[in-house]
Structure 1
Amino acid sequence: MLKQRIYVSVVGFSDVERHALNTLFRLSEEREFTYVPWVPLVAPNAEPMTGMVTIAVALVDGDSVEAVLSHARELPLGQRLIWVGPDAPAHAWRVLSRPIQWAEVLSDLDAVFAARQADSGLLDLDVTSPAPLADEFGVHLSPPKRALLVSSDLEERTYLRSRLALAGIVDVDGVTSSESAAEMIGRHRYVCGVFNLDDQLLDAWSLASLFRQRNPDSLTMATSQLASPLSDWWSRKRIKRDTDRAGIRVLLAKPLQPREISQWMALL
């Protein structure tokens, strides 16, 4: 089956946010339909030349200078606007606030795809507004799945957030200190926890043990360069032994491998 490519016009956003977005787009390549960022290569005040490309959604940073144009410009037929930040225009389809929850972004992009299918007559559903968290009959819904990332490495946390978003994990807590991690472990229940064993600023081993005690049925994972095939044999053997003793179920080698992570995230 041929993959369907959904083009997303990205306007504004910080370098860190764009990195997270690019990661999300890149990871979507593993799915049946993929999201592709589209950036107009034209002068700022000129009308973008899209050629044969149909842009399904405009993702706009409301704090950016370019956002002014999104307020005034009428959207092309079938295109939807996802606005991040305050002062959203009336024609915005979704409005998100910061800090950006990347799982929400992915969910909204999926909704755009569903809307396009509905518009084409392939699906019969209404995605013009977000679905309620509970139905009108008062059916109790399970709380959203939650994950914990314990690492001071921003790039690693951003990448893992994107992977969790693709696995449907909506709530992700990223912490950079042992004190914050211990507090979060005591406050919430998690389906997954990932601990950076190479982080010298954290007591990752103790935190992973505490996490496992509080969440015995969750997926306890850890990352380390010592698990890499490039590491020496004794280092790999020792860290595997130590993680087994600590009750860490999954040890991921750095650099992280998408296929390996996908296999484990599929269990969540």
Structure 2
Amino acid sequence: MPSPYRVALLGFSAFERSALGSYFRLAINRAPAYEQVDSVADAHFLVIDTDHGDAVRAVQALDRVDDAVFVGAQAPEGASAWMMRPIDPLHVLRELDAMVADRAEPTTECARPLPRSPAPGAAGPWPARRSGDLAGPDPTPAAAAQRAPRRALLVDDSEIALRFLETRLQRHGLATVRATTSAKAIELLSQQDWEFVFLDVELGTGSDLDGLALCQHIKRHQRLGADERAPVIAMVSAHHSQLDRVRATLAGADAYLDKPLDGAALEQLLQRHWPAQGALR
């Protein structure tokens, strides 16, 4: 197997550096593969946090803009790879794969890179709002009572999974509404405040976005509740690998629950984020 390409990360928080480094290590058996290094001089490629101006200026001074994937609100002039937060590690891999392919000699065998993602602001991936795919009753605005139940939006393409999760949450006193597609979830999120959003990772062919992309969309456009809390986003998935958990964390998820749902894990999640809800009823 060819040696992995070396990638240096500049300007990120310790958590983001650790999470991206973990993702590279977990994906080391793919081709091309990547490993994190500390030295810019030793790196084939760079991943730059554009929200740290010193990191951007350093890359420009080294004349290595063409070797860099930029992450943040704005990319410098001449950048060929740019994405906005939250960080999607799969998106980072796509951009790095494209750079590897661009630099490969015509006679060099190179694995087919992942499809490159569109730049922020390009057409897609956010769908236009549409209606008619809600699996549960339409929520109606109501005066917020002092002890109004916490609201949870459940998003899954499986009716069985939705009913099961709904039953468990209602035992904890949460008011639940179900959506079976990403488009309906986005519509409901724009209409009212939610304390929790439970997302299945795989939302089926009827959705424009999968659960990870929908999580990123919510984090970018999140509507704060009346008490200025952002909704707690919990990914719910039958995929249990550490790689899946890292991807969810970098997409902005606050928690990751396995399918089949573990009651104790759900209880811990609710107690951690809304302790006033109490124990299972």
* TM-score, length-scaled by structure 1: 0.46
If asked which structure has higher relative contact order (CA below 8 Å, sep 6+), I would say 2
* TM-score, length-scaled by structure 2: 0.44
